[in-house]
Structure 1
Amino acid sequence: MERIDRLPDLNSICFAYPQKTKPVSVTGKQCELNCAHCGGHYLQHMQPLTAAATADSSLSWLVSGGCRADGSVPVGEHLDKLAAIKNGRRYNMHVGLVGEADIDKLAAVADCVSFDFVGDDTTIQEVFGNGRTAEDYIKCYQSLRRKVRVMPHICVGLKGGEICGEYRALELLQELGAEAVTLIIFMPTRGTRFADRKPPAITEVARLMAYTRLNFPDTPVNLGCMRPGGRYREEIDKWAVRIGFNSIVNPAPAAVELANRLGLTITRGEECCVL
């Protein structure tokens, strides 16, 4: 499903502050997979679907949840309820390796799907341990794109801070097609199996970001919300501005200042960068 509304304008940048997108989990705080980089930590900050208010000020929901052991997020069980309470808001849905049976129903409810795209078998086994392969991610991505708007995400340094397979993932997306590409960056997280690891080197990430921009010249490229903070974030965000990324979520103030100094046209978003 190929649909590019406009070519990226390298003289402008969107800074997204997604206060009007509510994160909602269909599994509450539960996750069977217990991935090495997350361990269910990020579910703790999401509102369970069972408690989500149907009348609120949010313009959109990020609908996600913990994974089953096979790498799928069980959104299929909740699609009827999500459709009934949508009330004009938009849904960005994170579904993992969703099965074919759910894709048709998903397409009727989701405005877009954020899909974690992984191109390396060893990374999949070390991080997820779910017996899946890169080919499974390719097939699921292709199946989703035939039915719904899909936004691939690549986590830089997913293998405990090591860059391994990210360039291959980008090559695959060039072959398969992508409406947009979002990069996020591995964050060592307390209580996970990768808690003692370090984020990938800033120079390596910047090189990968430049490669992405050069190899997707006609495709919007985003820097997503998941990335380390502090000086690391400041440097990465400034590189994103210099390289010509189209949007940055919750940018460091130094990156905003740089964009102003460079004379870029700045717009402000209030929802997920892919919406």
Structure 2
Amino acid sequence: MKAETLKAQSGLLGVSDELAKKIRQSAQISWQNLGKKITFYLPGMFNLYGLTGKYPAISVTGHHCDLNCKHCKGKLLRSMVPCASPKKLLELASKWREEGIEGVLLSGGSTLDGYVPLQRVLPAVPILKEMGFYVSAHSGFATPELAKMLKQYGVDQVLVDVVGDDWAVRNILNLPGIKVVHRALEALYSEGLNVAPHIIIGMSGKIAGEYKALKMLAKYPVSILIFVVLMPAVAMSNIVLPVPLEDALSVIIEGRQMFPDIPHSLGCARPRGIYRRTLEKWALRAGINRIALFSEEAVEEAESLGLEIKYELTCCSVMKK
């Protein structure tokens, strides 16, 4: 595809003057409040530029998912370690501790009600923490009952997707509308959990609820905000992806305006290739504080911006004391 075509379709090779101005303003807010620095994260057990992540993900449902959302159909579970019992999790943890693993992400496929049945392994969490692991959990759209259990067993952080488009929740996630997202947020924050909300950009194939998703969070004590750009694991009919780069950046910038003094992260789920590298570059220029699965070009851009650079081998949402 010619460069001119790429630019016309998604602005991959630059941004408008108006957006460039907003990017500079966003960076000013970020650097003023949080310092002119960036942390690059290598999650899971990925290998990148000679580094290896130290934060494996386990699936409490193996490779199976009842909900079978249209953007994944369970494919993302294949890279996770199957683990459906506290005993199995503690066996894995004993091995991982010898390997210098820093923490673990509890995840898995969703039930038909939209939550991940993490209760299968939660009794192991207090022991994991005694062993020195940071424990985060991808809850899906948690029920009040699951939220209580996450709090009871002392999970360090809960990751939740925030989707503001009712159509996407119904037609992509196979759930009965945006009420399940509201329910999950209320349940998790009501328990006083450390929540890491993920704004999913482009789930509908366009911007169609991302700003609403940010507004949904405004009533809660948000301490970190993660942005991802939909990168479906399987082909989706009638959905053209990814969304234009300028649209994705505009959502990220609005997030900084609404939540000016907390860390913002560019999460690991986003398109590959030139889109990924260009998004990283402009996100850095907009003052993003964290980037997962970074490119060499991102590191070079951070250096050219004079940012203080750190590296961590965990999920990008981890907030160590």
Q: What residue in structure 2 maps to residue 257 of structure 1? A: 300
Query: Measured at CA, do residues 69 and 28 of structure 1 come closer, stay the same or move farther in structure 2, by a change above 3 Å?
Result: same
* 1:28–1:83 CA distance, 2 compared to 1 (3 A): farther
Paired residue for 2:115? 72
Q: Give the C-alpha shift of residue 139 in structure 1.
A: 2.7
The reply on whether 1:156 has 2:201 as its aligned counterpart is yes
Alpha-carbon distance, 1:116 to partner: 0.7
Matches within 5 A, 1:122-141: 122-131=167-176, 133-141=177-185
| Candidates 189, 201, 209, aligned match of 2:252 | 209
1:176 aligns to what SS in structure 2? coil
Measured after TM superposition, the shift of residue 102 of structure 1 is 2.5
Q: How many Å separate the matches in 2 of 1:128 and 1:22?
A: 25
For 1:200, the equivalent position in structure 2 comes to: 243
Quick one: distance in 2 between partners of 1:20 and 1:157?
Answer: 29
Query: Alpha-carbon deviations, 1:168-216, whole Å to 9, x = none?
Result: 11112123331111001111333x4359732111111112112112221
Question: Of Structure 1 and Structure 2, which has the larger fraction of its residues in helix?
Answer: 2
Q: Which SS does the other structure have where 1:93 is aligned?
A: strand
Matching residue of 1:92: 136
Out of 207, 213, 217, the position equivalent to 1:169 is 213
Q: Percent identity?
A: 32
Q: Secondary structure at the match of 2:120?
A: helix
Count of paired positions: 266
Q: Report the counterpart of residue 6 of structure 2 in structure 1.
A: none
Larger radius of gyration: 2
State TM-score, norm by structure 2. Answer: 0.78
Give how far 1:8 is off: 4.8
TM-score, length of structure 1 as denominator length? 0.91
Unpaired runs of at least 5, structure 1 = 1-6
1:90, CA displacement in angstroms? 1.2
Contact 2:199 2:210 in 1 (8 A): yes
Out of 261, 271, 285, the position equivalent to 1:242 is: 285
Partner of 1:3: none
Contact preservation (8 Å) 2:196, 2:225: yes
Q: Which whole-Å CA distance do the structure 2 matches of 1:180 and 1:166 have between them?
A: 16
1:213-268 alpha-carbon deviations (Å, 9 max, x no partner): 22211121110000011101000000110000110011121111111011111111
Structure 1 residue identity aligned to 2:115: S
Q: Please tell me whether residue 15 in structure 1 is matched to residue 15 in structure 2.
A: no
Q: In the aligned structure 1, how far is the partner of 2:178 from the partner of 2:188?
A: 15
Residue equivalent to 1:233: 276
The residue that corresponds to 1:4 in the other structure is: none
**Aligned-pair RMSD on alpha carbons?**
1.9
Residue 277 of structure 2 aligns to a residue whose secondary structure is helix
> How far off its partner does 1:154 sit?
1.0
Unpaired runs of 5+ residues, structure 2, are: 1-31, 44-52
Structure-2 change in CA distance of 1:85 and 1:213 (3 Å):
closer
